[in-house]
């Protein structure tokens, strides 16, 4: 007599269950060449956007980074925190000004930026990773003068105006000694994008730019930039799965790449020019986006490669 489970025959349920197990095994087989290729390599990941706000995505990100670490890849995480800074500034009654998307960073704003990034956010990320089995250590770019920066005194806006952005900096040198000691000691560095000038004053630095500079200094295998869109789009709005470095400036000049995507692609270009093998811009709103981009044949975002020879 035929046995049933719910509304399906038992043998059908068993077949479906075994089929699912075989499918999962095939995924591991697909990942095998990538696991072999990237074992012992450094990946620099810029973590920001919606993936830092949505609880399920935060858990997913921490588990994915812990998994990469446990299978022999060396992740280095650089995080942002713009929405959290905005919320804290509003709570404290500090007026936050932006010019063409740029945060003007006066003394009070810089204090809040450092408190939120190097304090609350950094330690929350570290704690979450440790809870999932990784060994993570939180750092600010000011620790051991990790990020040596200079102040940007003037910036030109889209309207052509010149503004003083305040305590905003650009990276001029990354001191890698501490990072290599942590990596070789089995730790994941988690870095807040705050640098120091020659006088030791804190500077607010774009997190994408910091991630690119660190990837370059460490000669990372990959630079992965998490964002809130699926990847770089072409003039028709379609995701570009693979893009050469020499195509990017044309897309910027043609107005195809605009806004917050510009610092991301320029960070990728700088990293590629300094020896990073490949850069990826991926949608952090998708669960397991990093694993899907790195360990599957098709990927889920835009990969940026060096100039074609």
279 or 156, greater pLDDT? 279
Residues 6+ apart with CB under 8 A from 164: 153, 154
* Average pLDDT score over the chain: 87
Axis crossing angle, helix 122-131 with helix 55-70, rounded to the nearest 10: 60
Share of the chain above pLDDT 90, in %: 50
- Return the ∠ at Cα 90 (arms to 88 and 96), rounded to 5°: 100
Q: Does residue 147 contact residue 174 with C-beta atoms inside 8 Å?
A: yes
Q: Which CATH number fits domain 44-305: 3.20.20.140, 1.20.1250.20, 3.40.1160.10, 2.60.40.10?
A: 3.40.1160.10
Domain parsing of the chain, residue ranges: 44-305
Q: Distance between CA atoms of 151 and 205, rounded to whole angstroms? A: 9
pLDDT-based confidence at 14, cuts 50/70/90? low
Asked if pLDDT for residue 128 goes beyond 80, the answer is: yes
153 or 306, greater pLDDT? 153
pLDDT-based confidence at 7, cuts 50/70/90? low
Give the H or E element holding residue 127. Answer: helix 122-131
306 or 147, greater pLDDT? 147
Q: 47-56, pLDDT tens digit by residue? A: 988 888 888 9
Phi, psi of 291 (to 5 degrees): -65, -40
Q: Distance between CA atoms of 213 and 270, rounded to whole angstroms? A: 8
299: left (phi over 0), alpha (psi -120 to 50) or beta: left
Asked if pLDDT for residue 71 goes beyond 80, the answer is: yes
pLDDT-based confidence at 220, cuts 50/70/90? very high
Long-range contact pairs involving 52-59 (C-beta distance under 8 Å, separation at least 24) = 52/79, 52/80, 52/81, 52/83, 52/84, 52/121, 52/284, 53/83, 54/285, 56/287, 57/284, 57/285, 57/287, 58/128, 59/128
């Amino acid at each position: 007599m035929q046995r049933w489970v719910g509304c399906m025959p038992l043998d059908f349920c068993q077949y479906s269950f075994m089929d699912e197990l075989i499918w999962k095994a095939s995924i591991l087989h697909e990942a095998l060449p990538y696991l072999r290729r990237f074992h012992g390599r450094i990946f620099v990941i810029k973590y920001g956007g919606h993936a830092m706000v949505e609880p399920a995505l935060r858990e997913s990100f921490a588990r994915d980074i812990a998994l990469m670490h446990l299978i022999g890849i060396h992740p280095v995480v650089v995080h942002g925190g713009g929405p959290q800074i905005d919320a804290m500034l509003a709570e404290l009654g500090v007026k936050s000004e932006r010019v063409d998307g740029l945060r003007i960073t006066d003394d009070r704003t810089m204090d809040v930026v450092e408190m939120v990034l190097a304090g609350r956010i950094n330690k929350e990320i570290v704690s979450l990773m440790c809870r999932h089995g990784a060994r993570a250590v939180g750092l600010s770019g000011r620790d051991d003068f990790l990020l040596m920066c200079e102040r940007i005194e003037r910036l030109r806006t889209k309207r052509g105006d010149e503004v003083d952005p305040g305590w905003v900096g650009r990276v001029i040198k990354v001191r890698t000694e501490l990072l290599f000691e942590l990596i070789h000691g089995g730790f994941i560095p988690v870095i807040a994008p705050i640098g120091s000038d020659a006088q030791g004053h804190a500077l607010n630095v774009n997190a994408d730019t910091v991630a690119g500079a660190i990837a370059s200094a460490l000669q990372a295998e990959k630079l992965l930039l998490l964002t809130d869109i699926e990847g770089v789009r072409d003039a028709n709005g379609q995701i570009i799965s693979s893009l050469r470095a020499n195509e990017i400036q044309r897309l910027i000049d043609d107005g195809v790449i605009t806004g917050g995507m510009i610092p991301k692609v320029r960070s990728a270009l700088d990293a590629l020019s300094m020896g990073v093998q490949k850069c990826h811009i991926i949608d952090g709103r998708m669960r397991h986006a990093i694993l899907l981009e790195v360990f599957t044949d098709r990927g889920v975002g835009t990969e940026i490669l060096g100039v074609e020879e």
